[in-house]
Amino acid sequence: MSDISRSHEYLSFRSTIPQRKIIVDDDNSKEWTLYEAGPKTVKSPLICFPPASGTADVYFRQVLGLSALGYRVIAVEYPIYWTMKEFVEGFRKLLDHLVLDRVHIFGASLGGFLAQKFAEHSCRSQRVASLILCNTFYDTTIFQQTNSAPTFWMMPAVYLKKMVMGSFERRATEPEIVDSIDFMVEKLDGMSQQALASRLTLNCMNCYVEPQKLRDVDILLMDVFDECALSSGVREEMCKCYPEAKRAHLKTGGNFPYLSKSTEVNVFLQIHLRKYDMGPYRARELTENELQLLSEADGTLNKSS
Amino acid sequence: MASRKKVLLKVIILGDSGVGKTSLMNQYVAKKFSNQYKATIGADFLTKEVMVDDRLVTMQIWDTAGQERFQSLGVAFYRGADGCVLVFDVTMPNTFRSLDSWRDEFLIQASPRDPENFPFVVIGNKIDLENRAVSARRAQGWCHSKGDIPYFETSAKEAINVEQAFQAVAKNAMAQESDVELCSDFPDPIKLKDDQAKPRENCAC
Ligand SMILES: Nc1nc2c(ncn2[C@@H]2O[C@H](COP(=O)(O)OP(=O)(O)O)[C@@H](O)[C@H]2O)c(=O)[nH]1
Ligand SMILES: [Mg+2]
Protein backbone atom coordinates (compact mmCIF):
# COMPACT_ATOMS: atom_id res chain seq x y z
CA MET A 1 0.00 0.00 0.00
CA SER A 2 1.23 3.53 -0.76
CA ASP A 3 2.38 5.88 2.01
CA ILE A 4 -0.52 8.22 1.36
CA SER A 5 -3.10 5.42 1.66
CA ARG A 6 -1.59 4.48 5.00
CA SER A 7 -1.29 8.06 6.25
CA HIS A 8 -3.28 9.23 9.21
CA GLU A 9 -4.67 12.07 7.09
CA TYR A 10 -6.08 9.76 4.42
CA LEU A 11 -7.44 7.26 6.91
CA SER A 12 -9.19 9.99 8.82
CA PHE A 13 -10.65 11.27 5.55
CA ARG A 14 -12.09 7.85 4.79
CA SER A 15 -13.41 7.40 8.29
CA THR A 16 -15.10 10.81 8.57
CA ILE A 17 -16.39 11.54 5.05
CA PRO A 18 -18.95 9.03 3.79
CA GLN A 19 -18.77 7.85 0.21
CA ARG A 20 -22.05 8.43 -1.60
CA LYS A 21 -23.30 6.82 -4.78
CA ILE A 22 -25.86 8.63 -6.90
CA ILE A 23 -27.65 7.43 -10.02
CA VAL A 24 -29.15 10.11 -12.26
CA ASP A 25 -29.49 8.22 -15.53
CA ASP A 26 -32.13 5.72 -16.58
CA ASP A 27 -29.42 3.12 -16.79
CA ASN A 28 -28.98 1.88 -13.21
CA SER A 29 -25.38 0.91 -13.74
CA LYS A 30 -24.29 4.52 -14.20
CA GLU A 31 -23.24 5.52 -10.72
CA TRP A 32 -21.62 8.79 -9.65
CA THR A 33 -19.38 8.51 -6.60
CA LEU A 34 -19.08 11.51 -4.28
CA TYR A 35 -17.25 12.70 -1.20
CA GLU A 36 -18.64 15.85 0.28
CA ALA A 37 -17.72 18.15 3.17
CA GLY A 38 -18.62 21.64 4.32
CA PRO A 39 -21.84 23.56 4.99
CA LYS A 40 -24.91 22.51 2.98
CA THR A 41 -26.15 26.10 3.15
CA VAL A 42 -23.56 26.96 0.50
CA LYS A 43 -25.18 26.71 -2.93
CA SER A 44 -22.11 27.19 -5.13
CA PRO A 45 -19.67 24.59 -3.85
CA LEU A 46 -16.35 23.67 -5.37
CA ILE A 47 -16.72 20.47 -7.41
CA CYS A 48 -13.56 18.48 -8.14
CA PHE A 49 -13.20 16.47 -11.38
CA PRO A 50 -10.50 13.77 -11.29
CA PRO A 51 -8.05 12.91 -14.08
CA ALA A 52 -8.44 9.75 -16.16
CA SER A 53 -6.67 7.56 -13.66
CA GLY A 54 -8.12 9.11 -10.55
CA THR A 55 -10.92 8.29 -8.23
CA ALA A 56 -12.81 10.94 -6.28
CA ASP A 57 -10.58 10.51 -3.25
CA VAL A 58 -7.52 11.87 -5.07
CA TYR A 59 -8.89 15.23 -3.91
CA PHE A 60 -9.01 14.30 -0.24
CA ARG A 61 -6.55 17.08 0.62
CA GLN A 62 -8.83 19.68 -0.97
CA VAL A 63 -11.92 18.22 0.67
CA LEU A 64 -10.28 18.22 4.10
CA GLY A 65 -8.20 21.38 3.79
CA LEU A 66 -10.84 23.63 2.29
CA SER A 67 -13.81 22.39 4.29
CA ALA A 68 -11.79 23.23 7.40
CA LEU A 69 -11.84 26.84 6.14
CA GLY A 70 -15.59 26.86 5.67
CA TYR A 71 -15.81 25.79 2.03
CA ARG A 72 -18.27 23.26 0.71
CA VAL A 73 -16.30 20.84 -1.45
CA ILE A 74 -17.61 17.89 -3.44
CA ALA A 75 -15.17 15.48 -5.08
CA VAL A 76 -16.85 13.37 -7.74
CA GLU A 77 -16.04 10.35 -9.83
CA TYR A 78 -17.74 9.81 -13.17
CA PRO A 79 -19.92 6.84 -14.06
CA ILE A 80 -18.99 4.85 -17.14
CA TYR A 81 -19.90 7.33 -19.86
CA TRP A 82 -18.69 6.73 -23.39
CA THR A 83 -19.60 10.00 -25.09
CA MET A 84 -19.16 13.66 -24.25
CA LYS A 85 -22.89 14.23 -24.68
CA GLU A 86 -23.63 11.55 -22.13
CA PHE A 87 -21.14 13.13 -19.74
CA VAL A 88 -22.36 16.73 -19.93
CA GLU A 89 -25.99 15.70 -19.62
CA GLY A 90 -25.20 13.30 -16.83
CA PHE A 91 -23.39 15.98 -14.86
CA ARG A 92 -26.22 18.45 -15.38
CA LYS A 93 -28.61 15.87 -13.97
CA LEU A 94 -26.31 15.37 -11.03
CA LEU A 95 -26.37 19.13 -10.30
CA ASP A 96 -30.15 19.11 -10.58
CA HIS A 97 -30.30 16.18 -8.20
CA LEU A 98 -28.07 18.02 -5.69
CA VAL A 99 -30.10 21.24 -6.22
CA LEU A 100 -27.05 23.24 -7.22
CA ASP A 101 -27.67 26.05 -9.70
CA ARG A 102 -24.16 27.25 -10.23
CA VAL A 103 -20.89 25.71 -9.16
CA HIS A 104 -17.15 26.24 -9.28
CA ILE A 105 -15.26 23.37 -10.89
CA PHE A 106 -11.68 22.35 -10.23
CA GLY A 107 -10.52 19.86 -12.84
CA ALA A 108 -7.15 18.27 -13.51
CA SER A 109 -6.06 16.73 -16.84
CA LEU A 110 -9.13 14.91 -18.22
CA GLY A 111 -11.11 16.51 -15.38
CA GLY A 112 -10.10 19.95 -16.64
CA PHE A 113 -11.12 19.07 -20.19
CA LEU A 114 -14.51 17.79 -19.01
CA ALA A 115 -14.99 20.91 -16.90
CA GLN A 116 -14.46 23.09 -19.98
CA LYS A 117 -16.81 20.93 -22.03
CA PHE A 118 -19.49 21.24 -19.37
CA ALA A 119 -19.04 25.02 -19.17
CA GLU A 120 -19.34 25.17 -22.96
CA HIS A 121 -22.43 22.95 -22.93
CA SER A 122 -24.12 25.03 -20.24
CA CYS A 123 -23.00 28.45 -21.47
CA ARG A 124 -26.62 29.57 -21.89
CA SER A 125 -27.90 28.19 -18.62
CA GLN A 126 -24.72 29.29 -16.83
CA ARG A 127 -24.31 26.39 -14.44
CA VAL A 128 -20.63 27.20 -14.02
CA ALA A 129 -19.59 30.12 -11.82
CA SER A 130 -15.88 29.61 -12.43
CA LEU A 131 -13.27 27.10 -13.53
CA ILE A 132 -9.92 26.18 -12.05
CA LEU A 133 -8.02 24.12 -14.61
CA CYS A 134 -4.93 22.22 -13.61
CA ASN A 135 -2.36 20.67 -16.00
CA THR A 136 -4.96 20.37 -18.71
CA PHE A 137 -5.72 20.80 -22.43
CA TYR A 138 -8.57 21.95 -24.69
CA ASP A 139 -8.17 19.68 -27.72
CA THR A 140 -7.84 15.89 -27.60
CA THR A 141 -6.01 15.68 -30.93
CA ILE A 142 -2.76 16.46 -29.08
CA PHE A 143 -2.75 12.83 -27.95
CA GLN A 144 -2.89 11.58 -31.55
CA GLN A 145 -5.12 8.71 -30.48
CA THR A 146 -8.35 9.75 -32.16
CA ASN A 147 -8.18 6.75 -34.50
CA SER A 148 -7.67 4.16 -31.82
CA ALA A 149 -10.01 5.74 -29.25
CA PRO A 150 -13.10 3.97 -30.63
CA THR A 151 -11.45 0.62 -29.89
CA PHE A 152 -10.45 1.33 -26.28
CA TRP A 153 -13.63 -0.31 -24.99
CA MET A 154 -12.35 -3.75 -26.04
CA MET A 155 -8.70 -3.32 -25.11
CA PRO A 156 -7.44 -5.39 -22.19
CA ALA A 157 -7.10 -3.48 -18.92
CA VAL A 158 -3.37 -4.15 -18.81
CA TYR A 159 -2.90 -2.39 -22.10
CA LEU A 160 -4.92 0.63 -21.02
CA LYS A 161 -3.13 0.87 -17.70
CA LYS A 162 0.20 0.79 -19.47
CA MET A 163 -0.93 3.63 -21.66
CA VAL A 164 -1.61 5.83 -18.66
CA MET A 165 1.31 4.60 -16.59
CA GLY A 166 3.68 5.51 -19.42
CA SER A 167 2.96 9.16 -18.80
CA PHE A 168 3.76 9.11 -15.09
CA GLU A 169 7.03 10.86 -14.39
CA ARG A 170 9.46 8.26 -13.11
CA ARG A 171 12.42 10.45 -12.44
CA ALA A 172 10.74 12.43 -9.72
CA THR A 173 12.99 12.98 -6.74
CA GLU A 174 10.89 15.13 -4.42
CA PRO A 175 9.37 12.78 -1.85
CA GLU A 176 5.92 14.40 -2.05
CA ILE A 177 5.85 13.87 -5.79
CA VAL A 178 7.05 10.28 -5.51
CA ASP A 179 4.30 9.63 -2.95
CA SER A 180 1.67 11.18 -5.17
CA ILE A 181 2.68 8.91 -8.05
CA ASP A 182 2.55 5.81 -5.83
CA PHE A 183 -0.92 6.76 -4.71
CA MET A 184 -2.16 7.35 -8.25
CA VAL A 185 -0.69 4.05 -9.48
CA GLU A 186 -2.64 2.34 -6.75
CA LYS A 187 -5.85 4.13 -7.81
CA LEU A 188 -5.23 3.20 -11.42
CA ASP A 189 -4.64 -0.42 -10.48
CA GLY A 190 -7.96 -0.58 -8.71
CA MET A 191 -9.95 0.64 -11.70
CA SER A 192 -12.10 -1.67 -13.77
CA GLN A 193 -11.39 -2.09 -17.48
CA GLN A 194 -14.71 -0.44 -18.36
CA ALA A 195 -14.17 2.57 -16.11
CA LEU A 196 -10.70 3.22 -17.45
CA ALA A 197 -11.64 2.54 -21.06
CA SER A 198 -14.55 4.97 -20.90
CA ARG A 199 -12.38 7.74 -19.46
CA LEU A 200 -9.64 7.22 -22.00
CA THR A 201 -12.27 7.29 -24.71
CA LEU A 202 -13.46 10.69 -23.48
CA ASN A 203 -9.84 11.74 -23.18
CA CYS A 204 -8.80 10.79 -26.71
CA MET A 205 -11.94 10.83 -28.87
CA ASN A 206 -11.77 13.67 -31.38
CA CYS A 207 -13.13 16.67 -29.47
CA TYR A 208 -12.18 20.25 -28.63
CA VAL A 209 -13.42 23.22 -26.65
CA GLU A 210 -14.66 26.36 -28.37
CA PRO A 211 -13.06 28.99 -26.18
CA GLN A 212 -15.34 31.81 -27.36
CA LYS A 213 -18.21 30.05 -25.59
CA LEU A 214 -16.26 30.35 -22.35
CA ARG A 215 -15.57 34.04 -22.78
CA ASP A 216 -17.68 35.02 -19.81
CA VAL A 217 -16.39 32.34 -17.49
CA ASP A 218 -13.88 33.28 -14.81
CA ILE A 219 -10.91 30.94 -15.27
CA LEU A 220 -7.81 30.23 -13.23
CA LEU A 221 -5.12 28.24 -15.02
CA MET A 222 -2.94 26.21 -12.73
CA ASP A 223 0.18 24.45 -13.89
CA VAL A 224 3.58 23.23 -12.78
CA PHE A 225 7.01 24.30 -13.98
CA ASP A 226 8.60 20.86 -13.54
CA GLU A 227 8.01 17.73 -15.58
CA CYS A 228 4.49 16.57 -16.17
CA ALA A 229 2.70 14.48 -18.75
CA LEU A 230 1.79 17.50 -20.84
CA SER A 231 4.59 19.27 -22.67
CA SER A 232 5.23 22.93 -21.98
CA GLY A 233 3.94 23.62 -25.48
CA VAL A 234 0.50 22.34 -24.57
CA ARG A 235 0.53 24.31 -21.34
CA GLU A 236 1.40 27.48 -23.24
CA GLU A 237 -1.40 26.76 -25.70
CA MET A 238 -3.84 26.75 -22.77
CA CYS A 239 -2.64 30.20 -21.74
CA LYS A 240 -3.06 31.48 -25.30
CA CYS A 241 -6.50 29.96 -25.52
CA TYR A 242 -7.60 31.88 -22.43
CA PRO A 243 -5.60 35.11 -22.52
CA GLU A 244 -7.75 36.73 -19.86
CA ALA A 245 -7.35 33.91 -17.38
CA LYS A 246 -5.30 34.37 -14.28
CA ARG A 247 -2.33 32.02 -14.04
CA ALA A 248 -1.32 30.15 -10.94
CA HIS A 249 2.06 28.56 -11.52
CA LEU A 250 3.70 26.13 -9.15
CA LYS A 251 7.46 25.63 -9.19
CA THR A 252 7.09 21.90 -8.88
CA GLY A 253 4.28 19.44 -8.37
CA GLY A 254 4.49 16.87 -11.16
CA ASN A 255 1.31 15.45 -12.61
CA PHE A 256 -0.71 15.60 -9.42
CA PRO A 257 0.01 18.86 -7.58
CA TYR A 258 -3.31 18.64 -5.69
CA LEU A 259 -1.71 15.66 -3.92
CA SER A 260 1.97 16.60 -3.91
CA LYS A 261 1.66 20.35 -3.24
CA SER A 262 -1.77 20.53 -1.70
CA THR A 263 -0.97 23.47 0.58
CA GLU A 264 0.02 25.67 -2.35
CA VAL A 265 -2.84 24.43 -4.52
CA ASN A 266 -5.32 25.12 -1.74
CA VAL A 267 -3.96 28.67 -1.34
CA PHE A 268 -4.56 29.30 -5.04
CA LEU A 269 -8.06 27.86 -4.75
CA GLN A 270 -8.76 30.07 -1.73
CA ILE A 271 -7.55 33.22 -3.47
CA HIS A 272 -9.54 32.38 -6.59
CA LEU A 273 -12.76 31.72 -4.66
CA ARG A 274 -12.41 34.71 -2.35
CA LYS A 275 -13.83 37.15 -4.86
CA TYR A 276 -17.15 35.29 -4.58
CA ASP A 277 -17.25 35.50 -0.78
CA MET A 278 -19.74 38.36 -0.59
CA GLY A 279 -21.91 37.37 -3.54
CA PRO A 280 -24.58 34.79 -4.35
CA TYR A 281 -22.04 32.31 -5.75
CA ARG A 282 -19.94 32.03 -2.65
CA ALA A 283 -18.33 28.66 -2.03
CA ARG A 284 -18.14 29.02 1.75
CA GLU A 285 -19.65 30.49 4.85
CA LEU A 286 -17.71 33.41 6.31
CA THR A 287 -16.92 33.80 9.97
CA GLU A 288 -18.33 36.75 11.95
CA ASN A 289 -14.85 38.22 12.07
CA GLU A 290 -14.39 38.12 8.33
CA LEU A 291 -17.81 39.56 7.60
CA GLN A 292 -16.99 42.49 9.84
CA LEU A 293 -13.60 43.05 8.22
CA LEU A 294 -15.08 42.97 4.73
CA SER A 295 -17.83 45.43 5.56
CA GLU A 296 -15.24 47.75 7.13
CA ALA A 297 -13.11 47.55 4.00
CA ASP A 298 -16.08 48.25 1.77
CA GLY A 299 -17.39 51.10 3.86
CA THR A 300 -15.06 53.29 5.88
CA LEU A 301 -11.79 52.54 4.15
CA ASN A 302 -13.10 53.05 0.66
CA LYS A 303 -12.27 56.72 0.45
CA SER A 304 -10.18 58.72 -1.93
CA SER A 305 -6.74 59.64 -0.68
CA MET B 1 24.30 22.40 -24.23
CA ALA B 2 22.92 23.53 -20.93
CA SER B 3 19.20 23.08 -20.68
CA ARG B 4 17.02 26.16 -20.42
CA LYS B 5 14.65 25.15 -17.71
CA LYS B 6 11.67 27.42 -17.34
CA VAL B 7 12.05 29.55 -14.26
CA LEU B 8 9.38 30.75 -11.89
CA LEU B 9 10.36 33.42 -9.38
CA LYS B 10 8.16 34.02 -6.39
CA VAL B 11 8.48 37.56 -5.10
CA ILE B 12 6.75 38.87 -1.99
CA ILE B 13 5.92 42.51 -1.28
CA LEU B 14 5.84 43.56 2.36
CA GLY B 15 5.39 46.84 4.18
CA ASP B 16 2.91 48.79 6.31
CA SER B 17 -0.56 49.26 4.94
CA GLY B 18 -0.97 52.35 2.78
CA VAL B 19 2.65 52.57 1.60
CA GLY B 20 1.68 51.59 -1.93
CA LYS B 21 2.35 47.84 -2.22
CA THR B 22 -0.74 47.08 -4.28
CA SER B 23 -0.17 50.21 -6.40
CA LEU B 24 3.42 49.22 -7.13
CA MET B 25 2.37 45.73 -8.16
CA ASN B 26 -0.41 47.06 -10.41
CA GLN B 27 1.87 49.65 -11.93
CA TYR B 28 4.52 47.07 -12.63
CA VAL B 29 2.29 44.32 -14.00
CA ALA B 30 -0.64 46.19 -15.55
CA LYS B 31 0.77 49.74 -15.89
CA LYS B 32 -2.24 51.06 -14.03
CA PHE B 33 -2.61 53.42 -11.11
CA SER B 34 -5.62 54.48 -9.10
CA ASN B 35 -5.93 57.14 -6.42
CA GLN B 36 -8.79 55.20 -4.92
CA TYR B 37 -7.69 53.50 -1.76
CA LYS B 38 -9.18 50.08 -1.27
CA ALA B 39 -7.57 48.14 1.52
CA THR B 40 -6.21 44.83 0.29
CA ILE B 41 -8.02 41.97 1.96
CA GLY B 42 -6.01 38.82 2.38
CA ALA B 43 -3.40 38.00 -0.23
CA ASP B 44 -3.36 38.17 -3.98
CA PHE B 45 -0.82 37.54 -6.69
CA LEU B 46 -0.10 38.64 -10.24
CA THR B 47 2.12 37.11 -12.89
CA LYS B 48 4.46 38.85 -15.28
CA GLU B 49 6.96 37.52 -17.77
CA VAL B 50 10.26 39.36 -17.87
CA MET B 51 13.62 39.00 -19.53
CA VAL B 52 16.54 38.64 -17.17
CA ASP B 53 19.92 38.41 -18.89
CA ASP B 54 18.36 37.12 -22.10
CA ARG B 55 16.31 34.57 -20.28
CA LEU B 56 12.53 34.53 -20.10
CA VAL B 57 11.47 34.38 -16.49
CA THR B 58 7.98 34.21 -15.00
CA MET B 59 7.59 36.39 -11.94
CA GLN B 60 4.81 35.64 -9.51
CA ILE B 61 4.35 38.67 -7.30
CA TRP B 62 2.52 38.30 -4.00
CA ASP B 63 0.80 41.16 -2.27
CA THR B 64 -0.72 40.96 1.15
CA ALA B 65 -2.60 42.76 3.89
CA GLY B 66 -4.79 41.97 6.84
CA GLN B 67 -3.73 38.35 6.71
CA GLU B 68 -3.98 37.83 10.42
CA ARG B 69 -7.68 38.49 10.50
CA PHE B 70 -8.76 37.32 7.09
CA GLN B 71 -8.43 33.68 6.15
CA SER B 72 -4.80 33.34 7.05
CA LEU B 73 -2.78 31.69 4.33
CA GLY B 74 -0.06 30.80 6.82
CA VAL B 75 3.47 29.90 5.86
CA ALA B 76 2.38 28.75 2.40
CA PHE B 77 2.33 32.43 1.53
CA TYR B 78 6.05 32.85 2.24
CA ARG B 79 7.17 29.36 1.32
CA GLY B 80 9.50 29.11 -1.63
CA ALA B 81 9.98 32.86 -1.99
CA ASP B 82 12.91 33.81 -4.22
CA GLY B 83 12.87 37.51 -3.52
CA CYS B 84 11.28 40.07 -1.24
CA VAL B 85 10.44 43.73 -1.79
CA LEU B 86 10.24 45.84 1.37
CA VAL B 87 8.26 49.03 0.86
CA PHE B 88 7.93 52.23 2.89
CA ASP B 89 6.36 55.61 2.20
CA VAL B 90 8.95 58.42 2.04
CA THR B 91 6.43 60.83 3.58
CA MET B 92 5.77 58.60 6.62
CA PRO B 93 8.78 57.95 8.90
CA ASN B 94 6.91 55.31 10.89
CA THR B 95 6.61 53.14 7.78
CA PHE B 96 10.37 53.37 7.38
CA ARG B 97 10.95 52.32 10.98
CA SER B 98 8.78 49.24 10.39
CA LEU B 99 11.18 47.86 7.78
CA ASP B 100 13.19 46.05 10.46
CA SER B 101 10.24 44.07 11.66
CA TRP B 102 9.02 43.29 8.13
CA ARG B 103 12.44 41.95 7.26
CA ASP B 104 12.57 39.87 10.45
CA GLU B 105 9.06 38.59 9.89
CA PHE B 106 9.97 37.50 6.40
CA LEU B 107 13.18 35.74 7.47
CA ILE B 108 11.37 33.88 10.23
CA GLN B 109 8.41 32.80 8.11
CA ALA B 110 10.20 32.01 4.87
CA SER B 111 13.35 30.71 6.57
CA PRO B 112 15.50 30.94 3.43
CA ARG B 113 18.60 28.77 3.20
CA ASP B 114 20.98 31.70 3.18
CA PRO B 115 19.31 34.59 5.05
CA GLU B 116 22.42 36.80 4.87
CA ASN B 117 22.35 36.86 1.09
CA PHE B 118 18.64 36.63 0.48
CA PRO B 119 17.61 38.92 -2.42
CA PHE B 120 15.78 41.80 -0.77
CA VAL B 121 15.08 45.14 -2.42
CA VAL B 122 13.95 48.22 -0.52
CA ILE B 123 11.56 50.70 -2.10
CA GLY B 124 10.95 54.23 -0.84
CA ASN B 125 7.64 55.00 -2.55
CA LYS B 126 5.59 58.17 -3.24
CA ILE B 127 8.51 60.41 -4.20
CA ASP B 128 6.08 62.45 -6.29
CA LEU B 129 4.68 63.95 -3.07
CA GLU B 130 5.94 67.24 -1.64
CA ASN B 131 6.07 66.38 2.03
CA ARG B 132 8.99 64.02 2.03
CA ALA B 133 10.11 63.00 5.53
CA VAL B 134 12.67 60.22 5.09
CA SER B 135 15.87 61.18 3.28
CA ALA B 136 17.50 58.96 0.69
CA ARG B 137 20.64 59.03 2.81
CA ARG B 138 18.87 57.66 5.82
CA ALA B 139 17.23 54.90 3.82
CA GLN B 140 20.50 53.98 2.16
CA GLY B 141 22.17 53.81 5.55
CA TRP B 142 19.66 51.22 6.71
CA CYS B 143 20.04 49.20 3.52
CA HIS B 144 23.80 49.26 3.89
CA SER B 145 23.60 48.01 7.47
CA LYS B 146 21.52 45.03 6.35
CA GLY B 147 24.08 43.67 3.94
CA ASP B 148 23.86 46.23 1.14
CA ILE B 149 20.27 45.77 0.10
CA PRO B 150 19.64 47.60 -3.19
CA TYR B 151 17.55 50.75 -2.62
CA PHE B 152 15.11 52.34 -5.07
CA GLU B 153 13.03 55.49 -4.84
CA THR B 154 9.81 55.15 -6.75
CA SER B 155 6.46 56.61 -7.54
CA ALA B 156 3.79 54.09 -8.38
CA LYS B 157 1.63 57.03 -9.38
CA GLU B 158 4.03 58.51 -11.94
CA ALA B 159 5.61 55.17 -12.86
CA ILE B 160 9.06 56.30 -11.77
CA ASN B 161 11.70 53.61 -11.17
CA VAL B 162 9.12 50.85 -10.63
CA GLU B 163 10.41 48.68 -13.48
CA GLN B 164 13.98 49.09 -12.28
CA ALA B 165 13.18 48.03 -8.73
CA PHE B 166 11.37 44.85 -9.76
CA GLN B 167 13.94 44.10 -12.41
CA ALA B 168 16.62 44.27 -9.72
CA VAL B 169 14.83 41.81 -7.49
CA ALA B 170 14.37 39.44 -10.45
CA LYS B 171 18.00 39.70 -11.42
CA ASN B 172 19.26 39.08 -7.90
CA ALA B 173 16.84 36.21 -7.40
CA MET B 174 18.05 34.65 -10.64
CA ALA B 175 21.64 34.93 -9.52
CA GLN B 176 20.79 32.85 -6.45
CA GLU B 177 18.78 30.43 -8.54
CA SER B 178 21.72 29.65 -10.83
CA ASP B 179 23.96 29.06 -7.81
CA VAL B 180 21.60 26.29 -6.78
CA GLU B 181 21.42 24.84 -10.26
CA LEU B 182 25.17 24.52 -10.38
CA CYS B 183 25.17 22.55 -7.15
CA SER B 184 22.55 20.15 -8.41
CA ASP B 185 23.63 16.52 -8.32
CA PHE B 186 21.17 15.46 -10.95
CA PRO B 187 22.28 15.95 -14.53
CA ASP B 188 19.55 16.93 -16.91
CA PRO B 189 18.45 13.81 -18.73
CA ILE B 190 18.43 13.72 -22.47
CA LYS B 191 14.98 14.42 -23.75
CA LEU B 192 13.92 12.87 -26.98
CA LYS B 193 10.43 14.25 -26.94
CA ASP B 194 11.46 17.84 -27.64
CA ASP B 195 13.50 16.91 -30.67
CA GLN B 196 10.63 15.41 -32.58
CA ALA B 197 8.79 17.56 -35.06
CA LYS B 198 5.37 17.08 -33.58
CA PRO B 199 5.53 15.19 -30.35
CA ARG B 200 2.64 13.05 -29.35
CA GLU B 201 1.41 13.98 -25.90
CA ASN B 202 1.48 11.31 -23.29
CA CYS B 203 -1.97 10.09 -22.73
CA ALA B 204 -3.01 12.21 -19.79
CA CYS B 205 -3.13 10.64 -16.43
N1 LIG C 1 1.01 60.19 -4.57
C2 LIG C 1 1.17 58.88 -4.57
N3 LIG C 1 0.23 58.09 -4.03
C4 LIG C 1 0.42 56.76 -4.04
C5 LIG C 1 1.58 56.17 -4.59
N6 LIG C 1 1.49 54.83 -4.45
C7 LIG C 1 0.31 54.59 -3.84
N8 LIG C 1 -0.34 55.75 -3.58
C9 LIG C 1 -1.63 55.91 -2.92
O10 LIG C 1 -1.49 55.46 -1.59
C11 LIG C 1 -2.66 54.78 -1.17
C12 LIG C 1 -2.30 53.38 -0.67
O13 LIG C 1 -1.83 52.62 -1.76
P14 LIG C 1 -1.94 51.02 -1.79
O15 LIG C 1 -1.23 50.59 -3.00
O16 LIG C 1 -3.33 50.58 -1.61
O17 LIG C 1 -1.11 50.66 -0.46
P18 LIG C 1 -0.92 49.25 0.25
O19 LIG C 1 -1.82 49.24 1.42
O20 LIG C 1 0.50 49.22 0.65
O21 LIG C 1 -1.26 48.20 -0.74
C22 LIG C 1 -3.61 54.77 -2.35
O23 LIG C 1 -4.53 55.82 -2.20
C24 LIG C 1 -2.71 55.03 -3.53
O25 LIG C 1 -3.40 55.71 -4.55
C26 LIG C 1 2.57 57.03 -5.17
O27 LIG C 1 3.61 56.62 -5.67
N28 LIG C 1 2.32 58.38 -5.11
MG1 LIG D 1 -2.66 46.70 -0.59
Chain segment A191-208, per-residue pLDDT in tens: 999 999 999 999 999 999
Residue range of the domain that includes B131: 7-185
Closest-CA distance of chain B to residue A17, Å:
24
- A274 CB neighbours in chain B (<8 A) are 41-42, 71
The band of A302, judged by pLDDT with boundaries at 50, 70 and 90, is very low
The CA A271 to ligand 1 mean position distance, Å, reads 22
A141 pLDDT exceeds 90? no
- A69 CB neighbours in chain B (<8 A) are 71
Looking up residue B59, the CATH number of its domain turns out to be 3.40.50.300
Residue of A67, A223, A251, A259 to mutate for B, most B C-beta atoms under 10 A: A251
Can you give the pTM of this predicted structure? 0.90
- Cβ pairs bridging A and B (under 8 Å): 123
The CA B157 to ligand 1 mean position distance, Å, reads 8
Tens of pLDDT, residues A206-263:
999 999 999 999 999 999 998 777 887 888 889 899 999 999 999 999 999 999 999 9
Question: Domains plus CATH for chain A?
Answer: 3-303 (3.40.50.1820)
B40 pLDDT exceeds 90? no
**Residue B99 domain-assigned?**
yes
Looking at the 3D structure of chain B, how many domains does it have? 1
- B5 CB neighbours in chain A (<8 A) are 225
> Which residue in A229, A248, A226 sits closest to A239, CA to CA?
A248
**Residue B124 domain-assigned?**
yes
Contact criterion met (CB below 8 Å) for A199 and A78: yes
**Residue B126 domain-assigned?**
yes
